[in-house]
Structure formats: structure tokens, C-alpha cells
Structure 1
Amino acid sequence: MKLLITGATGLLGSEIVRQLKDYPGNGFVSFVRNQDQLDQFDNPQLGDILDYPSLLEAFEGINIVIHAAAKVSFSPKEKAELFEANVDGTANVVNACLEKGVKRLIYISSVAAIGRPEKDTDTKQPISINESNKWEDSPINSEYAKSKYRAEQEVWRGQAEGLQTVILNPSVILGEADWKQSSTQLFNYVYQRNRFYTDGVINYVDVQDVANAVIQLIDSDIEDKRYIMNAGSVTYAKFFGLMAKGFGVAPPKYKLKPFAIEILWRLEAIRAFIFRTSPLITKETAVTARAKIHFDNSRIKEDLQMEFIPLETSIKRVCNYLLTKNNQRLTVEQK
């Protein structure tokens, strides 16, 4: 059996690659987009999910594809790129699987693809969402959420055409990455001693747990199902407080009122336009930061006997990693 993983250089993809090195079998192929990243992998294949011929070449002789490549952005100006990478790219992966006789596709989606009822914002008690929730067209669904939802439709199409599929829907993935990559930006926000937090709830899961679920699903006969990957939910105040403790800095202490958040994202949009940079907060992230949702993990815990890594353990590990990397950078700069 031979495996291929897309998005091998990302936060989750790189962890899947790390765990796959101990997986018995005929090895795996890391599908890599950039030439200068090839030397990071034992068995890389250069290509792009938007380049269909490169997918066909890479999928030759492959039995199982783990599709972890995606674009994550909440910037309005990147809407077209979001849909191109997440929807068109996933359609290409599904089509290449079908054309090359790939047996099984494990797709990494997002809890965002499940959709959010419009009533979730500013409620006092968290709303619980599970895999049976139906997508609702709502103004609070981000463009990223819409792109992942449409990508899932491509995966279900593949299932209908004979491809074995299973979808994982992780919440915010916590793991070791660059300061400006993925959820590590939240760690950077606290490390930079920012003083504000919102009254929302954040759902989280350790990158090691998501990768472990992927490994378990490789040999599983489970198909045509989706699984929420979520270790728990916590207020932003507690979430940032744990990060601050891990870094040894003061935590954010000023809670932003809804009207202040509305002003902030508009000011940030103006700043980003003037300086031609990506906004630090957008209208979409402002809505998300106030939401109170809990994603139910009952199905994955029952079917795969998953036991999730505690939040405190994840944050401490990532903080230690980032502090070590930052000290190394400062040492290099001082030479």
C-alpha cells in the first residue's frame, strides 16, 4: 500500500509526515509545491493541486491520498484565491483519484465547513454543534467556511462516484509552526503583550491528535463519514492566560465590547488598504471572536477511541518550542 499526502509542508501536513515515518508499509510520497522545499522530505514529488497533470503523475500507483493542502485566510481580497485553492484544488484531487484508481481519500476540512447558525453570535451560553448539523446560508459564515463547505461537496461527489472517502473537521489546530503561520499567530499575539481579548469561545485541538486520527483512518474500513476533531472549548480569557503563563508575560486584561470590535476591524481595514498589507482583524474574524460555539467530539471519541491531549499540555509544548526558536533567532542575529 502506498500513500500520498498533499500540504506536507503545512502545520498539520508536516506532523502527519512525522508520524507516518513510523507507519509500516511501502512508504509514502510528500506532494510538494515549491522546489526549494524538496530536500525536507525523503520521498517528495513536485507538483501543485491546481496543476492537474502533476497530480496525475504523482497519483500513479498510489492507493491512499491524504489531502491536507488548503489556503486559510479571512482577508476579503483573497476570496478568489481561497476558492481556487480549496474548491478547485480539491476537485482536481478527487478527479485525479478517480482517474488513477486511488482507493481511498482522507480529506482534512474544518469545523467552519459545518456552518454556523446566525443566532450564535453574542449568546450567553455556547451552542453545541455536531456532524449532523446542516449547512445554513448565513451572513456570519466566512468566505473560508464557504470554500471548505464547497470543497466537501467535491469529496462527497467522489464518494458517489466510487471513491472511499472520510472527512476530518478540526477546530483551531495548536502546534509547532512559524510565528506567522496558522494558529501560531495567536501565540504571537500574546507573546507581543497585546492587552485585549474578546468575550467569545475558542475551540481547539492538538496537531498531534489530528495527525493520529489520520493515521488510524488509513487502515480503517470507515467511509462516507465526517468527524469533528475538537478537544474542547474555552474562553479567550483563559486561552490567552495559559499562553501568557507559558511565555512568562502578562496576559491580555481588557475585554473588548462588541462596539469596540466593530470599530477596530474597520480601522484595521483602512490601515491595511493604506499600507497594502493583510489586516490583522477583519469583519469575519471579528464575528468569530465573539461567537460562543462548542463542537461536539462524541463521534470521533466513540469510533476511534480518541483521547485528546489537554489544552495546558499543548500550549506549554508550543510555547517552549516558540521560545527556543526565538532564542535561536536572536542568537544568530547577534553574531
Structure 2
Amino acid sequence: MIDKTYTVNKKILVTGATGFIGSRLVIKLASTADDVAILVRKSSDLSSLSGVLDRIRIIHGDITDKASLLTAMQGIDQVYHSAGLTYMGDRKNDLLYRINVDGTRNILDAAMAAGVKRVVHVSSITAVGIAGKNRPVDETTPWNFDAISLEYARTKHLGELAVAEAVKKGLDCVIVNPAFVFGAGDINFNAGRIIKDVYNRRLPFYPLGGICVVDVDIVAETIMAAMEKGRTGERYIIGGDNVTYHQLADTISRVTGAPRVRFPLPFFLAKVLKSLLDRKKDRNSISKLFNMSMFRVASEFLFYRSDKAARELGMRYAPHEESIRSAFEWYRDRKMLG
């Protein structure tokens, strides 16, 4: 049986620390008594961590560079691996594989070589599978994202298979699968892009699928809980409200005061519309979210159950409107919505 008892002042390493989830996680970890280090490239923008830079250590390295990982993990007790490339398209397939699959293997190998006690791997709901409209799925669902040929989802799935292999070799590792994450601090407009575009009337239509929405603070808290209480080799979906994109757009309109998005757009018509819009000179009038890979995914139902995380990790729930409001007010206060 693996010993999960640690010293009070643990030595922690976080990858992906400048990302939306990673930065929120580091901010919360920095308020503890633990020794927190982040693995970043020398060129990384650290502005999202400006308030805690005096409380964390910076280690330069890259998850695609095995030697830098072996150095970074010396003396480390716990690793939060939240680094990854999120890209919905087919123009970066090699890079997706190198970061999401090879990079994950590098982290796991380095952790085993350095004697790291536990790793939490931050995966994605796309590594779980596609649901039906009224049938949210859970952690036991067989992966079926290959039905829509999304390389990002495939690489996240393969990353989880790499974790399973590492667990078989003796590494203590837990997987978490965050849903569609909103909230304050989304500096790069990940999920927040839809708020900005509805607010600026660049999204006149909505896809016919749905998504599971969760707040970034809940995600960060639950990732930390997974480190302390998660079962070795298990995965935990971190989600919240399951809403159609029509419902999500209505919530954003209500929160921001923007006009409602009224027009449904089936995927087969989206392809025709996209080809027409591509001929326009002013392409900025329509959201950057309107590309065929993203719209194809948004035409499916990514609905999930988070009972396991609530039961075993104590994950809390908050209505998705609270997350939308928090994100919108954060953008508005910083004049980032123009």
C-alpha cells in the first residue's frame, strides 16, 4: 500500500502555471505553508501570477525537455501537471501530440525517476466522451470522441493511457477532468471568448449542442482535494451545470445586458455559412469561435456527472450564472471587453 502521508511543508511543482486553471491553482497553493515551485519557459508571461511571485519559486524548463524535468523534480513531493495545449483544429496535430502525449509521458517518467510521491494529472472532459442530450455521462464512459475526429481529444485520451501505464509501474497518480471552465482570471479568453463575443454582438447564432460549465475556483479547489484524497489511478470529472449553448448564451446576455442570441445553427448549415463568410473582407464581425472544428464539437452534448468528485473529494457546486458574472465583471473592471 502506498504511503500518502506527507510532511507539513511539502515541496510542490506545478506545470502549466501560467494558464487559466494552472494560475488559479498556484494562487491557492501559494496561500498554504507548502514550498511551491512552478515550471515555466524563460519566455513565459508571468502576469497572471503577479500577486504571488514573492511566494513561489520559478524553475525554468519545458515538459518537452526531459533533462529539464529531471532537474526540476529533484526533492519534489507532489506534482500538479496542468500543462497542455488546447487547440480545436487540425493544423497543429504534431504539436498537440508532442505536448499532450509526449510531454505527459516525460512528466510521469521524471516523477518516477525522482521519487515523487504523488502526481495529479489535469486532463479534460474530451478524454471522457460524448454524451446524449438528456444522458450525462460519468468516469466509466468508454472514450468515443474518435467519432468526430478531434486531435485534441485524442491526445488527451492518450495522455490518460500514459497515466494508466505509469500507475501500473508504481507511480501514485490521480486524474482530474475539468469541464468548460469560466471565472475571473481568464486572461487569454479561453472559455471567456464566448462572453466577449456575445457582449460585442459577434455571435448572432448558437450551435445545437450543450456543455458542462464549472467555475475556475471550484476546479482549483477540487484539484487540490484530488491530491490529498483522490484514489490512485482514478479519474474525477470536475463539472457543474449541464446547459445547452442556447441556455448558455441566454445566461451571458442576461448577465452582460447584451441582446439575446436568437438563431439556432445546425452543423450542416454552419459549413455553408462559413464558406460564405470566408469570402468577406471583414471577418472580424463574426466570432473567432466560428471555425468548423469547434462548431462540430459544440454541436454535440458534452454533459457530465460529477457525483464522484462531490462524494470523494468534497467538490462544491455553484450555479453557472455565478461563474459567468464573475468572469464578466473581471473583464469589465479591466476594460478587456472592447
TM-score normalised according to structure 1 size: 0.88
Structure-1 residue corresponding to 2:241? 232
1:93 has 2:102 as partner = no
Write out aligned runs for 1:68-107 (5 A): 68-107=82-121
Distance (Å, rounded) in 1 between the aligned partners of 2:60 and 2:259:
44
Structure 1 counterpart of 2:156, which letter?
Answer: K
Q: How far has the Cα of 1:102 moved from its partner?
A: 0.7
Structure 2 counterpart of 1:197, which letter?
Answer: Y
Structure-1 residue corresponding to 2:207? 198
Residue pair 2:194, 2:289 contacting (<8 A) in 1 also: no
Distance (Å, rounded) in 2 between the aligned partners of 1:5 and 1:154:
19
Query: CA separation of 1:265/1:163 partners in 2, compared to 1, >3 Å: closer, same or farther?
Result: farther
User: Any idea what the Cα deviations from partners look like across 1:194-228, whole Å, max 9, x if unmatched?
Assistant: 31112221211111111001122232262110001
Structure-2 residue corresponding to 1:146? 154
1:21 has 2:35 as partner = no
Structure-1 residue corresponding to 2:123? 109
Q: How far has the Cα of 1:279 moved from its partner?
A: 6.3
Structure-2 residue corresponding to 1:159? 167
Residue pair 1:38, 1:44 contacting (<8 A) in 2 also: no
Q: How far has the Cα of 1:51 moved from its partner?
A: 1.0
Instruction: State which drifts further: 32-41 or 68-77.
Output: 32-41
Residue pair 2:186, 2:327 contacting (<8 A) in 1 also: no
1:217 has 2:226 as partner = yes
Q: How far has the Cα of 1:138 moved from its partner?
A: 3.1
Distance (Å, rounded) in 2 between the aligned partners of 1:79 and 1:266:
23
Distance (Å, rounded) in 2 between the aligned partners of 1:140 and 1:236:
19
Structure 2 counterpart of 1:296, which letter?
Answer: R
Query: CA separation of 1:303/1:36 partners in 2, compared to 1, >3 Å: closer, same or farther?
Result: closer
Q: How far has the Cα of 1:283 moved from its partner?
A: 3.0
SS of match in other structure, 1:139: helix
Residue pair 1:116, 1:140 contacting (<8 A) in 2 also: no
Structure-1 residue corresponding to 2:16? 7
Query: CA separation of 1:166/1:248 partners in 2, compared to 1, >3 Å: closer, same or farther?
Result: same
Match of 2:139 among 109, 120, 131: 131
Q: How far has the Cα of 1:145 moved from its partner?
A: 0.5
Structure 1 counterpart of 2:196, which letter?
Answer: N
SS of match in other structure, 2:13: strand
Structure-2 residue corresponding to 1:333? none
SS of match in other structure, 1:285: helix
Query: CA separation of 1:219/1:127 partners in 2, compared to 1, >3 Å: closer, same or farther?
Result: closer
Distance (Å, rounded) in 2 between the aligned partners of 1:158 and 1:268:
47
SS of match in other structure, 1:13: helix
Distance (Å, rounded) in 2 between the aligned partners of 1:51 and 1:270:
42
Distance (Å, rounded) in 1 between the aligned partners of 2:299 and 2:176:
25
1:54 has 2:68 as partner = yes
Structure 2 counterpart of 1:160, which letter?
Answer: K
SS of match in other structure, 1:23: coil
Distance (Å, rounded) in 1 between the aligned partners of 2:195 and 2:28:
24
Distance (Å, rounded) in 2 between the aligned partners of 1:279 and 1:244:
18
In structure 2, stretches of 5+ residues that fail to align are: 1-9
Structure-1 residue corresponding to 2:261? 252
Match of 2:330 among 316, 321, 333: 321
Structure-2 residue corresponding to 1:296? 305
Residue correspondences, number: 319
The alignment-based identity, stated in percent, is: 29
Structure-1 residue corresponding to 2:5? none
Residue pair 2:104, 2:162 contacting (<8 A) in 1 also: yes
Query: CA separation of 1:251/1:221 partners in 2, compared to 1, >3 Å: closer, same or farther?
Result: closer
Structure-1 residue corresponding to 2:42? 34
Instruction: State which drifts further: 298-307 or 61-70.
Output: 298-307
Structure 2 counterpart of 1:154, which letter?
Answer: A
Distance (Å, rounded) in 1 between the aligned partners of 2:248 and 2:91:
29
Query: CA separation of 1:43/1:31 partners in 2, compared to 1, >3 Å: closer, same or farther?
Result: same
Q: How far has the Cα of 1:137 moved from its partner?
A: 6.4
Structure-2 residue corresponding to 1:170? 178
Match of 2:79 among 65, 86, 97: 65
- Aligned CA RMSD, in angstroms, stands at 2.5
